[in-house]
């Protein structure tokens, strides 16, 4: 009996760790441009994260959501249905937000960040001094 509880607690703790990593990744996608100034490696990692964010929001299932749900189920907890953002935004910030509104908002945030990077790259290419170093 105690071995089953220990395994359940381990899976539950791992699910919480995945939840934290997932939340940090979402924050990185949304606000990462603020940290990439003058750091080209971080800038390219952020651009890749933005593209991944759009792909998982529109086309692909997120592997972190899948892993979190699997760990919760292994811990004996009923896993949530739908995406990470919808589940936690609905619970914490915006009750009854529709999946469509959340998806469109997420894609627009990613697209806005990508447009800032594209503008910066075009400014450099033209030799003009950009307003900010994203």
Contact 28, 46 (CB under 8 A): yes
In a domain? residue 114: yes
Secondary-structure breakdown of the chain: helix, strand, coil percentages, each rounded to the nearest 5: 75, 0, 25
Closest by alpha carbon to 91, among 9, 30, 8, 19?
Answer: 19
Structural domain of 35: 2-126
Instruction: Compute the mean pLDDT over every residue in the chain, rounded to the nearest whole number.
Output: 86
- State mean pLDDT over 16-44: 93
87 vs 73, residue with greater confidence:
73
Structural domain total, the chain: 1
State the pLDDT at residue 20.
93
Look at residue 127 and tell me whether its pLDDT is greater than 60: yes
- 83 with 61: CB under 8 angstroms? no
Model confidence at 1, pLDDT cuts 50, 70, 90, reads low
As a whole number of angstroms, the distance between CA 4 and CA 108 comes to: 44
Asked whether residue 95 is domain-assigned, the answer is yes
- What percent of the chain lies above the pLDDT cut of 90? 54
The answer as to whether 115 is a domain residue is yes
CA distances from 82 to 97, 100, 110 (A): 13, 12, 20
Query: Quick check: is 131 in a domain?
Result: no
Q: Residue 89 domain-assigned?
A: yes
Q: Please give the span between the terminal C-alpha atoms of the chain, in angstroms, as a whole number.
A: 55
Quick check: is 103 in a domain?
yes
Q: How many CB atoms neighbour CB 31 within 10 A?
A: 12
pLDDT greater than 70 at residue 18: yes
pLDDT(4) > 80: no
In degrees and rounded to multiples of 5, residue 30 shows phi and psi of -75, -45
Q: Does 132 reside within a domain?
A: no
Q: What is the pTM of this model?
A: 0.79
pLDDT at 43: 95
Quick one: average pLDDT of 63-69?
93
């Amino acid at each position: 009996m105690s071995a089953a509880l220990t395994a359940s607690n381990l899976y539950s703790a791992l699910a919480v760790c995945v939840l934290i990593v997932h939340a940090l990744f979402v924050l990185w996608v949304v606000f990462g441009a603020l940290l990439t100034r003058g750091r080209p490696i971080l800038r390219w990692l952020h651009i890749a994260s933005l593209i991944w964010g759009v792909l998982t929001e529109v086309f692909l299932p997120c592997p972190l959501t899948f892993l979190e749900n699997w760990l919760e189920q292994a811990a004996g907890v009923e896993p949530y249905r739908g995406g990470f953002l919808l589940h936690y935004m609905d619970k914490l910030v915006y009750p009854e937000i529709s999946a469509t509104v959340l998806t469109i908002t997420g894609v627009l945030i990613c697209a806005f960040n990508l447009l800032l990077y594209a503008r910066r790259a075009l400014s450099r290419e033209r030799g003009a001094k950009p307003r900010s170093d994203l």
